[in-house]
Structure 1
Amino acid sequence: MSANAQALAESSQSVTVPFQAASVDIWDKKYRLKDLRGNPVDEDVDATYRRVARALADVEEADKQEHWYFRFLWALRHGAIPAGRITSNAGGQEYKPATSTINCTVSGTVTDSMDGILAKVHEAGLTLKAGCGIGYDFSTLRPKGAFVAGAGAITSGPLSFMDIFDRMCFTISSAGGRRGAQMATFDVGHPDVQDFIRAKREDGRLRQFNMSLLITHGFMEAVKSDDWWRLAFPVTHKQAEVEAIDLNDSEQVVWRDWPNREATDYIVDSDGRVACKVFRTIKARHLWNAIMSSTYDYAEPGFILIDQYNDMNNNWYVENIRATNPCGEQGLPPYGACLLGSVNLTQFVRNPFTEDAYFDWDEYGEVVAVFTRMLDNVVEISGLPLAEQQREIERKRRHGMGFLGLGSTLAMLRMTYGDPPSVDFTEQVSRELAETGWRTAAELAQEKGAAPIMDESFTVDDEMLRLRPEMASDGYQVGDTVPGRVLMAHYSRYMQQFPAEVTGSIAEHGARFTHHSSIAPTGTISLSLANNASNGIEPSFAHKYFRNVIREGRKSKEKVEVDSYELLAYKHFVDPQADTEAEGEHALPDYFVDTNSIQPWQHVEIQAAAQKWVDSSISKTINVPQDFDFDAFKDIYLYAYDKGLKGCTTFRFNPEAFQGVLVQDKDLKNTTYRFELDDGSVVEARGDEEVEYDGETHNAANLYDALKEGYYGRF
């Protein structure tokens, strides 16, 4: 078999569409292995593939390593792209032994004490240093002005402690020259939620964070019905006694789901809900408008429908998700970590741009199956810095496989992103990835053993029966013990949609992992190894545009012009003179759409089609024009809620707020930036102009952003 695998791996090594210079440059800067003096170890992109394939194949039994090396190499050459930490670090321990192959983690619960907070700062620093992004739920911290009995003082609130994490991340240079990435989540019912919403209106504050609100069904229904909304925080037994709080008075106390209830002296009812002291009551729509206004102007906070997340979680019986990785596609429990990878859909298009264009479903399924084994092997070489993180990933072995290049692929198939045929294709490609992945999970469990949690026994309690009443119908009672594999296979809302032979096998033998899929944003992976195929599930931002990239030694970001993959492919296969500005015979076909021509509701339809078959979540950004109507903007989020999404994010260009990673030329040309010099004089420059400052030439928009946000000279 090894000889056949080798022949297969070596049968197709050529790149059908030549790489553009920007793609090669990003690969060289971010993913090419180099020695301690900066000399390349990877000779070319294929050498990067060979290094990664070897590192992951070496996890296999000795007599199978060569076979799987060539199978993994074949998959890498045919569209399997491990996430950035795997691609840059796997097989590179000789040169950077302290790095991890894991992209994303979640902090342990940030407990409401000075010791607990500072311990998490320390753990986060070690995590970021290893190259992993990290997310935290800060709504576990009591609100500003609350009394701290031990200190005999009042607390400054969660936002002030977030500033500590922000400065720590700013100081630490993440592995491989990559800036640290953090996500802060916050409960929409926390008394300081309005401060959280407004936080990024201050120049330079909390810029090392993405920020998202944990939105509940209760809040969304209160918005729809124009009801009141209580801002509250858990009360302890001692506090209730000292403050004479009447637990039966709904004006004083509201009962809610809350994390970490077992480790704290909170008051818990028979349904597992925590008594929360009401600090104030406001109109839900008033808070909703504040959230939407901030999102409209600053693209944050994001929108995580946390009840939907937990209800659809495969580990529903043992996890309470409250935080996500920095881009939101992985909701994780305390100390959770997830390794990521994406399949480049453009590599399966045959006869692109012709009436005979089709998608090679057979090869796609084969790549997904091999790639699933590859990603599972990453657990053994994860290199996570904290013992708690290592235990968590070894117990559940979750990973997140997704895809990239959807927008580019649709164009090559002559489909228009957002139209009904493209929605159907999105669901089909997501379903094929999911079904192949779970069949492979069942096979690997029988070959290598199931994830340890599958063989653990869990005691049925009242809360479990409340969450899954069908268990009682099946004869389960409080006190019974059930294996994790049965609780996942038969009672996961997500797993119930798969064929009985798959779930039956998992119930009997377990699965190799608890989670298989998520769709990440894939920014630099798409630009480099996928030759600027569209990011993740997105359409192409534009077909000629600029990316702002960090360059070592430069004092501001550099503006780099790039073409979309579908434009490169069209010029390569159809018309070398095709151009976005061309008319007549050299004009691009109508199906060459971008974010300017796609309606927001179409983005939601695409995301909903994929979400049905994605067991974690999806990082997706709905780009809207600068002049998009605010009331219509708010409706996007209501529509996303009604469609059952787990999250939603939008972006509207706002030069006064910040400079985005992806920039269209027209936005820069239409924006004037004002620079005030030391002598009080003012210099104005158009966003796309180059200006001389501090001995360097800068794009005016990027210089303005770096100076305003305090980044200047830090790159």
Structure 2
Amino acid sequence: MAVKEIDLKTKNVSKTYTYDEAFKASLEYFQGDELAARVWVNKYALKDSDGNIYESNPDEMHWRLAREIARVEEKYANPMTVTKLYDLLKNFKYIVPQGGPMSGIGNTYQIASLSNCFVIGDDGPSDSYGGIMKVDQEQVQLMKRRGGVGHDLSHIRPKGSPVKNSALTSTGIVPFMERFSNSTREVAQDGRRGALMLSVSIKHPDSESFIDAKMEQGKVTGANVSVKIDDEFMQAVVDGEKYTQSYPVGAKEPKYTKDIDAAALWSKIVHNAWKSAEPGILFWDTIIKESVPDCYADLGYRTVSTNPCGEIPLCPYDSCRLIALNLYSYVENPFTPKAKFNFKLFREHVGYAQRIMDDIIDLELEKIDGILEKVIADPESDTVKRVERELWENIHKKAEEGRRTGVGITAEGDMLAALNLQYGSDVAVDFSIEVHKNLALAAYGSSVELAKERGAFPIFEAAKEANNPFINRLFEADPKLAENMKKYGRRNIAALTIAPTGTTSLMTQTTSGIEPVFLPVYKRRRKVNPNDPETRVDFVDEVGDSWEEYTVFHHKFVTWMEANGYETAKNYTQEELDELVAKSPYYGATSNDVDWVSKVRMQGGVQKWVDHSISVTINLPNDVSEELVGKLYVEAWKSGCKGVTVYRDGSRAGVLVANDKKDEVKTTGFPKKRPDELDADVVRFQNNKEKWIAFVGLIDGKPYEIFTGLSDDEDGILLPKSVLTGKIIKNREEDGTSRYDFQFTNKRGYKTTIEGLSHKFDKEFWNYAKLISGVLRHQMPIEGVIELVAGLQLDSESINTWKNGVERALKKYIPNGTKAKKGNCENCGSDELIYQEGCLICKSCGSSKCG
């Protein structure tokens, strides 16, 4: 074994693998689970900046993690060995580093942070343009290194406030929401966009505008939004009283105050959440009261916002790394009458997880040093680099001084099912609370032991924490812990969270985080060639693509079937599947089955043993009332939750197809199947000196699809100028692919067909046209589509010319009298702009702008 450990510590990782090689090896590792294999290769396999892959399967990753953590362990007393660490990590069975730690530990090819989440913004920042631009740049600098970012907007002065510049008055919060949102969308993160949380206090006079901002299609699409709600507001809602907003928020002598109807604003929050799943709610007084780091607010640890998923409230420039324990693995004899939870092993492993998290802080400090070295070596001037350099210096200071960690869990739903407990039942809720109580005591106990061996976090002071409810709850449950903490201190300022664990749960092949199972059996679709005699076509979508539907079993549901003697290879009918589910512990315990009030109470009960927060969503059926959403929010507040999000089925597009007995799967807002023929308009226009043409397919006179490009070059379309209308006809090529032809009647009365509109124009134009046609088919208002097209960030001059043409072609379909969503008259400055025959007309001064 010693020889093996030496070999592992000096492993050469210069060998590279193709994507197919890594995927094949990972598919074997995950026993045929294609989704898990692709997620691992795409997100977590060791890669360099050119995309070269240095690991073929997760086992190699686990050795990489074990080697690096063991290297840190050797700096301290009683180090864990590399094999001990590997045994805890292997097969995603017990301890699972999440996100940044999994992909970044030991990666010398990329310069990136290990932190999953950050919060930025000075403690009590100014709302000057300089301060706002600084936050914008800090956000971008973090996102380019794959960090999720949160920041609060409560410091920005309300709309209409006087300012000492030529603008005279402030624009308020909303324009800056759009700025930060757009910055997020601009930053590429290895094929995914950044993650941003914007928050604002309900006390802020612009909070209603903040709450409404995302209700307008196409606005603030790059951010999650949450409202920080205080107890005073909630009590005013319950009592039907007025509530006073003020700015600056929290000032003893504010410059501006106004009284509002608390119930009316509350109704708007509830309505918007019911309609669009946002805003989320943060019960801010509960967060601050329970927060251990806020005991050190005078030293820079005042919590101001949260990470994008809401599970880590943070002070400015602090960050957190995440790790999860797989709860299912601590169930012995799962799905049998002998099933029981091994609390002893669980507590032992929680201690190891906390220790590993502390090691990862040291690894993060090394990563930040590397980032700073790169920034200093970059060729830009010190003036340009100053914000980025100071940002990482501040983050380094907070990580070293507070040593914050994020130990959490996944597979709560599967753990309960494996114990034959129904998620949401009273007994299951009580058991979950006991598990999390054990987790909290073990993690804090480990942090105290680490302080004894390695020293407490530098600013620890027991007296500062004397009145903290969370700390006192721990001390009451374990007096020995209280005695040791007061004697030795604690290694970490805060330790616990419950994150969503989306991709993590795909690799553990369990339910996600604290959530119940989505469905024990569901359907997925794969696109197929309808001309292949070996395939089965179950569904044809609105653009004519063919799909096969296939049944997918939740992994642990299969384990239940095996434990109870049911065949897993049998081709079950829907009725047989329904009967199977009804016999299992997953029956009545899916995300849509669980009693919503019970779930809220469970979250509140568990929250008492989590020092940060919990990412959890209350899933509701489509037909629930807004009143129920409001009741759930009030219950969450009363139960001690720190935050809550609701998702009403259909309020956002989903990815899985429910297994039900309806003849057709219906998606809210989804258009009817495309007819074989569409009436069409021909729109001609000129971009600079080029002649362009657009074919707009119509249903009920409204745009349904668009094809456009040059009309007078050798690859374009020549069409008599007299042709203004026709039909777009859908046909198929010999290989089965779709083809769209334009047919018109010439002057002599003969029908003439131009074949393959999709092939006549530049391929890049066609791809963008498909995107825009898809939006049109979902019946987005035309003015919203135009705004979407206008907002496309395209590098090619020819594509930008095409984009301008699409805008002009679609403007003629905006109903006369429609108010422009944004912009002011260039002549008089009024915002009273309306569309008339595709032109913008100012109702105040009568000036117009076309094209």
TM-score normalised by the chain length of structure 2: 0.68
Q: Indicate how the Cα distance of structure 1 residues 700 and 147 shifts in structure 2: closer, same or farther if over 3 A, else same.
A: closer
Does residue 679 in structure 1 map to residue 658 in structure 2?
A: no
Specify the alignment match of 1:251 in structure 2.
none
Specify the alignment match of 1:281 in structure 2.
259
Specify the alignment match of 2:512 in structure 1.
535
Specify the alignment match of 2:163 in structure 1.
148
Specify the alignment match of 2:464 in structure 1.
487
Specify the alignment match of 2:828 in structure 1.
none
Q: 1:618-637 alignment to 2 at 5 Å? A: 618-637=614-633
Query: Match of 1:223, as an amino acid?
Result: V
Specify the alignment match of 2:318 in structure 1.
336
Q: Indicate how the Cα distance of structure 1 residues 448 and 635 shifts in structure 2: closer, same or farther if over 3 A, else same.
A: same
Q: 1:299-698 alignment to 2 at 5 Å? A: 299-319=277-297, 320-382=302-364, 383-384=367-368, 386-454=392-460, 484-488=461-465, 490-498=466-474, 499-527=478-506, 529-531=507-509, 533-545=510-522, 563-574=553-564, 575-577=566-568, 581-582=575-576, 586-592=580-586, 593-654=589-650, 658-660=652-654, 664=658, 668-671=665-668, 673-674=670-671, 679-682=696-699
Q: Indicate how the Cα distance of structure 1 residues 648 and 150 shifts in structure 2: closer, same or farther if over 3 A, else same.
A: same
Secondary structure of 2:408 counterpart: strand
| Deviating more after overlay: 286-295 vs 698-707 | 698-707
Q: Deviations over 1:669-705 (max 9, x none)?
A: 25452399951414989xxxx9979569999899959
Does residue 48 in structure 1 map to residue 45 in structure 2?
A: no
Q: Indicate how the Cα distance of structure 1 residues 38 and 562 shifts in structure 2: closer, same or farther if over 3 A, else same.
A: farther
Deviation at 1:201? 1.3
Query: Match of 2:161, as an amino acid?
Result: A
Query: Match of 1:673, as an amino acid?
Result: F
CA contact (8 A) 1:33 1:41 kept: yes
Once residues 104 and 702 of structure 1 are traced to their aligned partners in structure 2, the CA distance between those partners, rounded to angstroms, is: 36
Once residues 584 and 547 of structure 1 are traced to their aligned partners in structure 2, the CA distance between those partners, rounded to angstroms, is: 17
Deviation at 1:712? 9.2
Once residues 114 and 184 of structure 2 are traced to their aligned partners in structure 1, the CA distance between those partners, rounded to angstroms, is: 19
Deviation at 1:485? 3.1
Q: Deviations over 1:255-287 (max 9, x none)?
A: x6x3xxxxxxxxxxxxxx532244432211001
Q: Deviations over 1:565-614 (max 9, x none)?
A: 32232244442348675258745525212112112101112212211110
CA contact (8 A) 1:534 1:565 kept: no
Secondary structure of 2:254 counterpart: strand
Does residue 161 in structure 1 map to residue 176 in structure 2?
A: yes
Q: Indicate how the Cα distance of structure 1 residues 189 and 218 shifts in structure 2: closer, same or farther if over 3 A, else same.
A: same
Specify the alignment match of 1:292 in structure 2.
270
Query: Match of 1:434, as an amino acid?
Result: A
Q: Indicate how the Cα distance of structure 1 residues 30 and 278 shifts in structure 2: closer, same or farther if over 3 A, else same.
A: same
Once residues 140 and 548 of structure 1 are traced to their aligned partners in structure 2, the CA distance between those partners, rounded to angstroms, is: 47
Specify the alignment match of 1:89 in structure 2.
104
Deviation at 1:492? 2.0
Specify the alignment match of 2:51 in structure 1.
38
Query: Match of 1:321, as an amino acid?
Result: T
CA contact (8 A) 1:427 1:610 kept: yes
CA contact (8 A) 2:608 2:640 kept: no
Structure number with larger C-alpha Rg: 2
Q: Indicate how the Cα distance of structure 1 residues 662 and 187 shifts in structure 2: closer, same or farther if over 3 A, else same.
A: farther
Once residues 17 and 127 of structure 1 are traced to their aligned partners in structure 2, the CA distance between those partners, rounded to angstroms, is: 33
The number of residues matched between the two structures is 623
Once residues 311 and 289 of structure 1 are traced to their aligned partners in structure 2, the CA distance between those partners, rounded to angstroms, is: 26
Match of 1:133 among 148, 163, 170: 148
Deviation at 1:629? 1.9
Query: Match of 1:155, as an amino acid?
Result: S
| Deviating more after overlay: 505-514 vs 613-622 | 505-514
Specify the alignment match of 1:227 in structure 2.
241
Once residues 775 and 576 of structure 2 are traced to their aligned partners in structure 1, the CA distance between those partners, rounded to angstroms, is: 28
Query: Match of 2:42, as an amino acid?
Result: K
Query: Match of 1:224, as an amino acid?
Result: V
Query: Match of 1:591, as an amino acid?
Result: P
CA contact (8 A) 1:22 1:562 kept: no
| Deviating more after overlay: 632-641 vs 646-655 | 646-655
Gaps of 5+ in 1: 7-13, 235-255, 259-272, 455-483, 550-557
Once residues 4 and 450 of structure 1 are traced to their aligned partners in structure 2, the CA distance between those partners, rounded to angstroms, is: 35
Specify the alignment match of 1:195 in structure 2.
209
Deviation at 1:562? 5.3
Once residues 38 and 207 of structure 2 are traced to their aligned partners in structure 1, the CA distance between those partners, rounded to angstroms, is: 42
| Deviating more after overlay: 37-46 vs 374-383 | 37-46
Once residues 404 and 702 of structure 1 are traced to their aligned partners in structure 2, the CA distance between those partners, rounded to angstroms, is: 39
Deviation at 1:547? 8.4
Query: Match of 2:70, as an amino acid?
Result: A
Q: Deviations over 1:136-175 (max 9, x none)?
A: 100110011111124461111111112111111111112x
CA contact (8 A) 2:29 2:58 kept: no
Does residue 185 in structure 1 map to residue 199 in structure 2?
A: yes
Query: Match of 1:352, as an amino acid?
Result: P
TM-score normalised by the chain length of structure 1: 0.80
Once residues 578 and 363 of structure 2 are traced to their aligned partners in structure 1, the CA distance between those partners, rounded to angstroms, is: 54
CA RMSD across the alignment: 3.5
Match of 1:69 among 77, 82, 86: 82
Q: Indicate how the Cα distance of structure 1 residues 16 and 116 shifts in structure 2: closer, same or farther if over 3 A, else same.
A: closer
Q: Deviations over 1:409-456 (max 9, x none)?
A: 1111111000011111111110111111111111100111111111xx
CA contact (8 A) 1:376 1:399 kept: yes
Once residues 226 and 691 of structure 1 are traced to their aligned partners in structure 2, the CA distance between those partners, rounded to angstroms, is: 61
Q: Indicate how the Cα distance of structure 1 residues 63 and 197 shifts in structure 2: closer, same or farther if over 3 A, else same.
A: closer
| Deviating more after overlay: 700-709 vs 186-195 | 700-709
| Deviating more after overlay: 562-571 vs 434-443 | 562-571
Q: 1:93-132 alignment to 2 at 5 Å? A: 93=108, 95-96=109-110, 98-109=111-122, 110-132=125-147
Deviation at 1:108? 2.0
Deviation at 1:185? 0.6
Deviation at 1:73? 1.3
Secondary structure of 2:282 counterpart: strand
CA contact (8 A) 1:344 1:405 kept: yes
CA contact (8 A) 2:292 2:470 kept: yes
Once residues 691 and 357 of structure 1 are traced to their aligned partners in structure 2, the CA distance between those partners, rounded to angstroms, is: 53
Percentage of identical aligned residues: 29
Deviation at 1:545? 4.0
Gaps of 5+ in 2: 7-26, 372-391, 527-546, 675-679, 681-694, 706-735, 739-757, 759-765, 795-851
Q: Indicate how the Cα distance of structure 1 residues 576 and 704 shifts in structure 2: closer, same or farther if over 3 A, else same.
A: farther
